Each structure stands twice: as structure tokens, then as C-alpha cells.
Amino acid sequence: MDLNNSSGGVDVEVMDNLKEPLLKPLDIDNKDKRIRTVKFKIGDIECASCATTIESVLGKLDGIKSATVSPIEGQAAVNYIPVLINARKIKEAVEDAGFPVSEFPEQDVAVCRLRIKGMACTSCSESVECALRMVDGVKNAVVGLALEEAKVHFDPNLTDTSCIIQAIEDAGFGAELVSSGNDVSKLHLKLEGIDSPEDMTIVQSSVESVGGVSNVEVNLAEKKVTITYDSDLTGPRSLIRCIEEAGRESKVYQASLYVPPRPREAERKHEIQMYRNQFFLSCLFSVPIFLFSMVLPMLPPYGNWLDYKVHNMLTVGMLLRWILCTPVQFIVGRRFYVGSYHALRRRSANMDVLVALGTNVAYFYSVYIAIKAFALDKFEGQDFFETSSMLISFILLGKYLEVLAKGKTSDALAKLTDLAPDTAFLLSLDDDDNVISEIEISTQLIQKNDILKVAPGAKVPVDGIVVRGHSYVNESMITGEATPISKKLGDKVIGGTMNENGCLLVKATHVGSETALSQIVQLVEAAQLARAPVQKLADQISKFFVPTVVIVAFLTWLGWFIPGEFGLFPENWIPKGMDKFELALQFGISVLVVACPCALGLATPTAVMVATGKGASQGVLIKGGNALEKAHKVKTVVFDKTGTLTVGKPVVVNAVLFSSYSMEEFCAVSIATEANSEHPIAKSVVEHAKRLLKTFGSTEHVMEAKDFEVHTGAGVSGRVGEKMVLVGNKRLMRHNNVQVGPEVEKYVSEHENLARTCVLVAIDGKIAGSFAVTDPVKPEAARVISYLHSMNITSIMVTGDNWATAAAIAKEVGINKVYAETDPLGKADRIKELQMKGMAVAMVGDGINDSPALVAADVGMAIGAGTDVAIEAADIVLMKSNLEDVVTAIDLSRKTMSRIRLNYVWALGYNILGMPVAAGVLFPFTGIRLPPWLAGACMAASSLSVVCSSLLLQSYKKPLHIQSVSNGKFA
């Protein structure tokens, strides 16, 4: 419709209004000024004037956009700007006006992840946590030192991400938003044809009008737009089409994908480059200082010129060292001053404090010596300029190598992220499902319900369902399962897996952040951020470590200076060119530097990062350091039976009648009753009954069971026509007073001894027949139980199935202790009973009925093919549904905890051994002392050794896969 032609000319103001965004922000450049709405009930409103009074009171508050009060319903709806006012103040204002407030909404909890810059050790991460928790509205904050990230839970009504970032910056650290809770699906687009703010406004309003779009961020300068949307309601291609259709007449807008650089990768490259440049700059000055102070004086006559006097006793060598050391101390070493200032301002101490203290003592004492030499004609003293400059150089070298090594701790995660292909083939189908067109698009443009073609040798682009074709898909890159899996019509496929031979047509069901690959990455990232309980040791030590070191360093100086002044040790102990004060000072500085707690803070998080990443690459998802630590203590593993020890796909092997009902009628009522059940056994009964009906030449009658009811752990019931039908085990029959005769008892007993479950069907209070169902045992079950036994771990089975079947399965796999006929809460009770005996218990299960037990156990392990509820409740997810990974999870936990303990040995070992040597304990007997610059090298080496020690976990191999075949037990 042409507005100008239809009205004969439209007012300019009207046209301007049409260009306004539909969800008009207050300030396009300030995304934090978004409007929120809060609704609540107000009491004691007697008339319209009361409502007007409240609206007037609220309207006077800064930040209130609108306030509407209904005098009839006593309800208020207030639009406000969170940056200027919060919901709590709105409530207080209404109550101050004399009106009680009720049904006020509970506090929302939002989540954001932040990248933290400038953390050096555990005390830094503790300082950030403390600063975050001081922010009004922050519920919880966890800071990961190795990951250099923070995860913050906060009330968006009380604070926002900008306030949180400000709090971190006030504490002396840099902060950058990585993601917030509403970043479900984000699309980054580069725009063309945008020449003015008016064009950007038109684009913004067009996009905001699309259903499912929750936020639009525009950048006019770079002509970019970031759209947050709900993938169930819209998709990237629809949004791009919307932008292009927003163009009018001569204006043509175009949008193309823009892939922002990975923040962490870019940040790490910048950090590596920064430390490298600072180290080289430091070396530019420190190497000549080292030559002038330690090399050339030992090579006469080449070093004689350094002893020439400039004035009085100030030599050329001393002056050059002073000149060269100053930029290292104050320009290169500025970061230590800044870090120390912020640390001391927040009343804590970290590595920067120790380094700044040590280098300042060395530098300013050397300046004092130089000034004294310049002023006096008969003065001899030794400067420590080389100590200050070389100390800073070695620390920077250590940090540079540490950052390089830390980058490798998340290699496994980076490999997972890169599994998804860049492009996919999108098909268009007609009504008869014939392919009309085929185009290659970026995987970022895939929307739900798209039909995609996956050629042989290509990767599956996103999660979906096969709608045509048959092939074998290699899922090893995600699940660790080496054998390709057959995929046919209706089977699920995972994004990032490799299609081996056939061509598949796949319907996209999960895209973007919803794919299994993205979920795995998010889970592992969360796990790497979570703090293991063993980390508490480092946290507790770090609180008093630095102050203690400063005291010890001061006592070391006193311990050498005072005896020296009183002549309590021989003069020949003092090295040439030094006096007693200088010797004591060097010992004190060495103690300050060698005892730095950096390595202590890295001992746990680096190992957890590598272990969780390695576990994910092998199909074992570990949800955090807590689960990783607890798993190594496990002495008892409790297994569910169906779907865990067994395949979980029951098959009916026998059906028999115990009444005068025909097989057709028996099958029909069984199908009608069991059709509503999601239980695997119910599905197998329905499938077998349908096959029997076809065998008898009977057409399947569509019957519906009314009053359907699930009896947990026993079976189901319902009314089919006029008949009351019960389908389940003997417990269900007894509970409903159905007599189980000798003939039925014999049949049940015989089949239970063969590890078969008997499903009894009762019609109108009498047993009509039974189905014998078997669930094959997983081929690896027996060797897993045997291997656990070799690890001194007891295996127990807990199942809702009958005793005879449970005992037969347990005997087959090698389990000696069985709890059968146990309901879901009973499983959890059994777990608690074992825990009461002092056992650390792991529960392995797959179903909804295992969820209470998974939560109750010290470590819950969910089979990956199990239900979402079970996976959500578990601490560890076994993605391959392979029981071998129970062993892998426990063994990886043991190896990781062993590595963490070794890391503590490396970290504390340097301090325990280095501090006495630095303090001069060996000097009286051996003449060995640790110069401050060498102490700095040792401190840097301790951090590097801890990170490299953690990286050795990258070579972890699954225990069952490395066993020799010749032992006859293990693969």
C-alpha cells in the first residue's frame, strides 16, 4: 500500500512515527535502559481516588514509566527502568503511602557469565567473589581461576550486568560479559544499504515486530545487528528475509552472517602476546644488566671499564645498571604496582604484593647505595639492580609459559566445538515429498523443521530425525563409540557426527544452542567453572599465606642482620662486595619471591579443566569438580536393572492364556491398556500383541482404555469397554485382590528362573493370561562388574522387578547382592541405608524411577540414552549408554585426584623446600644461597610445572581398553 497515493500526501510527522521501532528502546546506544513490568496486589483500596493516589505516588518516582492501578481488582501494573529503580523500592513506596502490598512476585534469578582479567592467584579469585557478593541483588557467584571466568546468579530487579562489571572493576580487575541467561539463540548480522540512523531504526523496528524476537542490539558505526530470538518461533533465514523486505523503493537492505571472534580465544591470544612483549621488553634491559653485573666483571680486562668512577665512588657499571633497571621496575613492572594497589585496597595480598615488595626493596636499596656512592669518596657497597630487573623478567617468562600451557587445558573442549560442519544442504520438498531444490547454506542459517541432505562422508549439521534413507553414522567424536550405528527412518542423529556410506535426509529438530553438541560444551564449561571441594585447601592456605611470607621474610632479614652486627658468624661468610645488611636483605627478598602462592591456586582448577574436557571427548560428561572429586571415593556401585545392566529393549518370548478368553480378545484389551504406558516392557507387550493379532488374521481394533492409572513399580490399570483390566506383576494382582492360582504361579516361577519377567493380565478380577518378557543383558555388563571388583568396589543391583528375574540377571553378570521389587523411593532408601554404613555410593540408572536414587547417591550416573529427568538428576552422564564408562568415570576421577595431589606436592614442594634454602639454612654448611632472581625463576617454574602436570591427563586412556585380551576377562 502506497501511503502517499492513498491519502494524497501524508504528514511528515506521521511518516516519522511509522519509522519508529515497535519496541522502542529509550536509548539505542544504551541497552541497559530496558523497561520491565511488575504486577502485584494492593489492599485497602476503597475507591477510585485511592488508585489515583497510588498512581500519583509512583509517578513521582524516578525511573517509573507508567503505573496503572485497578480500584476494582486492587491490582497494579508498573513499567519501570531497572537501571533507575528496582521493584523493591516500588513496593516500599506503595506501603509508605499506607497501602499493604500482597502477591508481590518472587525475586527473579538471572545468570550471567563474565570473563575476568588480571587474576594471578587464588586470593585474586577470592577477592572477585567477595566483590561480587557485596553487590545488592547478587545471590551467588563462582569464580574460576584457571578458566578466568565468573558465573553470577543475580536478581535482575535489583541489579544488572553493568553494575556487576563495575563492582569487579572497582576491585581492580577487568571484566567482560560472555553471556547472559537469555542468550538462548543469538544471530549476528552484517548489514548493507544502511546509510543513516533512520535506516537502522527501520531495520530494528522490522526485526522487533517478528514473533519470537526478544532483543535487538544495533551498532550503527559498524553496521551490525545482534538478534536474540526463540528458535521455536522464528529462525535466522526468516530474520534475514525480514530485514531485506524492510527496504523500500530505492533503498535495498541486505544482511549477511557475521561471525564474531571467539572472545576467549581472542583474549588468550592478546594475553599471550602481552606477556611475550613485556618479557622481550624486560630482556632488552635485563640482559645488559646481567652482563654488566655478573659476566663482564669476571672477564678482565673486558670488564675493567665498568669500574671507572663517574663521581666519587659511583662507577660506570653502577650508573648503567641504574639507568637500565629503572624502566624495567616502573614501566614493565607497572602491572605489579597496579595489582598490589588494588589488592591492598581490598585488604588482601597476592602474588603482585610479594613481587612488588621484593623488587622495590632491591631497587630502592640499590638507589640508596648509588646515591651514597655518588656523595661519598670513601664508600663501598653492592647494588642489587640486577636482582630487581631479572626477577621481573623471570616472573614474566613464567607467566608467558603458564598462559601458553593453560591454553592447552581446554583443547578437548575446543575440539568438540569445532566438530559441527560449516555448511549444509537445504532441500525444498513439494506436497508429495519430491525434492524441488537443493541449496548449500551456512549451518548457522538452519531453522527447526528444515529438511537437510547428508551425503556419504559428510558430517550431520544439527540434531534431527531421519526422514528418508539408510546409512551408518560414526558417533565416536561425541559419544566415543567407535562402531558406526545404523540409522534409518525415524532414528535420531546428532550434529557433528559422521555419515559413513548412505545418503540421509534429516529433519532438523534442535538447532543453535539446543543441539547435543552445544549442550555438551555448555555442560563442560559449567563443570570447569565449578570449584572442587579439594580447592578449599588452597583457598584456606592463601588467606594467610602472603602475610605469613612477609613476616617470615622480615624475620629472615632480622635473623641474618642482627647476628651479623653482633659478630655471631664469621666475616668470611659474607660474599665479596657485600656487607652484613646486604646479605640479610638478599635472603629476605629471596624468601618473599620464592614463596609466591600462584601454583597453589592452579593445582585443582587446571586438573579439573583437563579431566572434564577429556571425559567429554570420551563420552563421559562430568558435571563439575564436586562430582569428579566424589567419584574417586566410591566403594559401592548400585545398578538399576532394566536399561542399565540390560539392553532396555524387552522382547516378549511367550504368551499364554489362563482363561476362556480368545487370544484375539486377550491381545486387544492388553493393547488398549498398555498403549498409554511409556514403560519399555509395556511397549514390547503392545508390539507382540499386535503381531499376534495379525497372525490370527484379525484386524486391529482401535480400543481406548478409560480411567487409566499407573501403579508405580507394579503395572497399569484401565477400563476397556465394560471390562476392568489390570496389567502388571503379582504385586499389582495382590493389591487388587486378584487370585493367582497354582497354574499361574508355576508358569511365573519357571520363567522367572530364566530371567524373564511375567506380565500378568487380569480381566474383571481374574487372571486371563500372561506375557513372558526377557530383556537381554548388555554384553559388557559382566566384565564391568568383574573389573569393579578388581578395583575393590562392590556392585549391588536394585530393581523394581521380581526377585527371581533379578536374581537370574545378577547371577549372569556376577552381582552377589540384590534388592528386588523396590519402588523408586525404596531405591533412594536403599542408597541412604548404604550411606549410613559409611559407604560412598554411586547409582547407575536410566529411567524416571531412578531419579530419586540418582539424587540420593553420592555420585549419580545416568545412562545417556535414558530419560531427560534422569540425566538432569545425575552428576555424571554416560553418553554412550555403555557400562564400561562407569569404570571410566571412577578411574578418571581417581587419576584426576591423584594428579591434583601431585600438583599440590609440586606447588607446596617448591615453597617447603625453597623457603628454607632462600632463608639461608644451607648457607652456613654448604655456602649455597638462592639469589632473588633465581628464586623468581623457581617461583615461575612451580606454576608452570603444575599446569604441565595437569596437561598430562590429556594422555588418559580408558582402563578397560588397555587391558590385555589374554587375561580372558577384559577387552
Same domain, 434 and 358: no
Give 438-462 pLDDT, tens digit per residue.
Answer: 888 888 888 888 899 998 888 898 8
Domain-located, residue 528: no
Boundary (domain end) residue, out of 750, 774, 798: 774
User: Which letter, b or e, does each residue of 326-346 get, where b requires 16 or more Cβ atoms within 10 Å of its Cβ?
Assistant: bebbeebbebbbebbebbeeb
Q: What pLDDT is attached to residue 20?
A: 39
User: Beta partners for 67?
Assistant: 78
pLDDT for 68 equals 81
Instruction: Check: CB of residue 449 under 8 Å from CB of residue 442.
Output: no
Nearest CA to 112 among 50, 177, 47, 49? Answer: 177
Stretch 918-945: mean pLDDT: 78
Give the residue-averaged pLDDT of 912-917.
82
Examine the domain organization and report whether 784 and 642 are in the same domain.
yes
Strand order in the sheet with 101-102: 64-70, 75-80, 36-42, 101-102
Whole-number average pLDDT of the chain: 79
- Residue 331 DSSP label: I
Same-domain status, 291 and 336: yes
Taking only the tens place, the pLDDT of each residue in 244-255 is: 888 766 678 888
Strands 64-70, 75-80: pairing kind: antiparallel
Q: Are residues 99 and 115 in the same domain?
A: no
Is 516 part of a structural domain of the chain?
Answer: no
344 inside domain: yes
Mean pLDDT in residue range 804-833 = 86
Instruction: Tell me which residue of 924, 639, 643 sits closest to 810, measured CA to CA.
Output: 639
Q: Give the C-alpha distances (Å, rounded to integers) separating 702 from 39, 667, 671.
A: 49, 12, 9
- In a domain? residue 2: no
Q: Which pLDDT score, from 0 to 100, does residue 635 have?
A: 92
What does the alpha-carbon distance between residue 652 and residue 629 come to, in Å, rounded to a whole number? 42
Whether residue 29 is contained in a domain is answered as: no
949: left (phi over 0), alpha (psi -120 to 50) or beta: alpha
**Long-range contacts formed by 675-683: CB under 8 A, 24+ apart:** 675/705, 676/705, 676/708, 676/716, 676/718, 677/710, 677/716, 680/642, 680/643, 680/648, 680/649, 680/650, 680/775, 681/642, 681/650, 681/757, 681/759, 681/773, 681/775, 682/716, 682/727, 683/650
Closest Cα to residue 539, out of 130, 881, 157? 130
At 793 the pLDDT is 92
pLDDT band at 571 (very low <50, low <70, confident <90, very high): confident
Burial 205-226 (b: 16+ CB within 10 A, else e): bbbbebebbebbbbebeebbbb
659 plus 765 within the same structural domain: yes
pLDDT band at 482 (very low <50, low <70, confident <90, very high): low
Q: Which pLDDT score, from 0 to 100, does residue 145 have?
A: 75
Q: Which of 228, 260, 292 is the last residue of a domain?
A: 260
Average pLDDT of span 97-110: 73
Predicted TM-score (pTM) of this structure: 0.61
* The three cell numbers locating residue 56: 500519583
Does residue 525 fall inside a structural domain?
no
CB-based contacts of 914, cutoff 8 Å, min separation 6? 594, 595, 930, 935, 938, 939
What's the CA gap between 30 and 81, in Å, rounded? 12
How much is the pLDDT for 543? Answer: 67
Q: What's the CATH code of the domain at 154? A: 3.30.70.100
- The percentage of the chain sitting over the pLDDT mark of 70, rounded to a whole number, equals 83
Question: Mean pLDDT, to the nearest integer, of 187-201?
Answer: 82
User: Considering 240, 260, 280, which residue would you say is the last residue of a domain?
Assistant: 260
Instruction: Report the CATH number that the domain containing residue 705 is assigned in CATH.
Output: 3.40.1110.10
Tell me the mean pLDDT in the region 523-538.
64
- Residue-wise pLDDT tens digits, 120-133: 767 778 788 888 98
Q: Which amino acid is at 606?
A: T
Comparing 33-37, 680-684, 846-850, the range with the smallest average pLDDT is: 33-37
Question: pLDDT by residue (tens digit) across 130-173?
Answer: 889 888 888 888 887 767 788 888 877 678 788 899 889 888 88
156/166 Cα distance (integer angstroms): 15
Predicted local distance difference test score (pLDDT) of residue 478: 60
Residue 526 lies in a domain: no
The residue among 908, 943, 915 whose CA lies nearest residue 588 is 915
40/374 Cα distance (integer angstroms): 79
Q: Do 837 and 800 fall into the same domain?
A: yes
At residue 10, the pLDDT reads 38
Length of the chain: 971
- Interatomic CA distance for residues 451 and 426, integer angstroms: 6
301 and 399 part of one domain: yes
Tell me the residue range of the domain where 744 lies.
651-774
Which CATH number do you get for residue 475?
Answer: 2.70.150.10
Do 666 and 752 lie in a common domain? Answer: yes
Q: What integer is the mean pLDDT of 925-939?
A: 75
Same domain, 192 and 221: yes
833-839-841 Cα angle (round to 5)? 80
Distance in angstroms (rounded) separating the CA atoms of residues 537 and 600: 9
| Same domain assignment for residues 332 and 355 | yes
pLDDT at residue 789 in the model: 92
Name which of 397, 848, 859, 421 is nearest 624 in CA terms.
Answer: 859
pLDDT band, very low/low/confident/very high, at 303 (cuts 50, 70, 90):
confident
Total domains, the chain: 8
pLDDT given for residue 770 in this prediction: 93
Q: Among residues of the chain, what percentage have pLDDT more than 90?
A: 9
Q: 641 and 672: one domain?
A: no
> According to the model, what pLDDT value does residue 324 have?
93
Using the predicted structure, report yes or no on whether residue 29 has a pLDDT greater than 70: no
What amino acid occupies position 846? D
Q: How far apart are the first and last CA of the chain?
A: 73
Tally Cβ neighbours within 10 Å of residue 695.
10
Same domain, 641 and 784: yes
